[in-house]
Amino acid sequence: MQVAERIRRRILDGELEEGAKLPPIRELARQEGVAVATLGRSLDHLQVEGYITTSRRGTFVANAPEVAPSSYDRITRVLRTGSVLSEGETLTVTAAELVVPPLYIADIFALDEGDQVVRRQWHTGKGRQRLMLAVNWYPAAFAASVPELLSTAAGKSVNLLPRIQEAIGRRVTAGRDDLHGRDADAREANFLGVRVGSPILAGAHRLWDDEGVIEYGEWCLPHRLVVGYEYRFDAAPGEQG
């Protein structure tokens, strides 16, 4: 599973591009420092997940794989590389503004009535394919320290989370994702290039520290894409405090 995760991350980050041929199994096993049989099981996982394909010519990264990075994948990529995007993806920011939020957003950030938040709406794509529509929310005070939060320029979106953490002197220590399937409304259908009422996968994430929520985000994907998660446990079931 660890080997599969390393290869999966290289694919999601664009280090291994669509259609790229992987080294022969024995060579790849040597690079990963594992037995050939272990490497084979790792590749089996990735093939079932849709990241790679195999043929007599060898093993290749799938063209237009029907997989999408999870919120955890994207957030850790930002902290690791400074960018939310994998190789070949584009990002368009369509709104970056201070607004009085809906009540549920005000509750998430523990705001008083009339307080404002930063709202950033953006979408990603690859070629003509729309991959994700997202809206991120931040406390309004963050904009004073990180003015890029109110810019729609794509270049200003690079490294935002690390810049926020540095500017406010706080660090994300925990997060949570929630996902559900539903029908696309008119706004979502327009950005994703699907019909109104088409099935989509929608989700939300929140990142926080001991002082409160630092970022809350909502996003949706076309139904053809699959999101996967990997789990690790520090203790056996029933032994956690």
24 or 88, higher pLDDT: 24
Report all structural domains of the chain as residue ranges with CATH numbers, in order of start: 2-61 (1.10.10.10), 67-227 (3.40.1410.10)
Identify the three-state secondary structure at position 142: helix
Over residues 154-211, the pLDDT tens digits come to 788 878 999 999 999 999 999 999 999 999 999 998 888 888 898 999 999 999 999 9
pLDDT at 64 over 70: no
pLDDT number for residue 121: 95
> What is the average per-residue pLDDT within 210-222?
94
* Count of positions (residues) in the chain: 241
- The pTM (predicted TM-score) of the whole model is 0.70
pLDDT number for residue 66: 62
pLDDT number for residue 72: 79
pLDDT number for residue 6: 85
Query: What's the CA gap between 174 and 2, in Å, rounded?
Result: 22
pLDDT at 103 over 90: yes
The CA-atom distances, in angstroms, between 204 and each of 39, 139, 175, 176, 179 are 34, 17, 11, 8, 7
Sign (positive/negative) of CA torsion 75, 77, 79, 85? negative
* Residue (of 117, 119, 61, 70) closest to 88 by Cα position: 61
The lowest-confidence range among 55-59, 68-72, 142-146 is 68-72
Burial of 138 (0-12, 13-18, 19+ CB in 10 A): buried
Query: What's the pLDDT band for 220 if we cut at 50, 70, 90?
Result: very high
176 or 223, higher pLDDT: 176
Mean pLDDT over all residues of the chain? Answer: 85
The CA-atom distances, in angstroms, between 240 and each of 36, 197, 234, 236 are 35, 43, 8, 7
Output DSSP code: residue 21.
B
The lowest-confidence range among 65-79, 106-120, 171-185, 224-238 is 224-238
> What is the average per-residue pLDDT within 39-59?
83
Could you give the percent of the chain with pLDDT greater than 70? 90
Output DSSP code: residue 82.
S
Over residues 2-33, the pLDDT tens digits come to 888 888 878 766 778 778 889 888 999 999 99
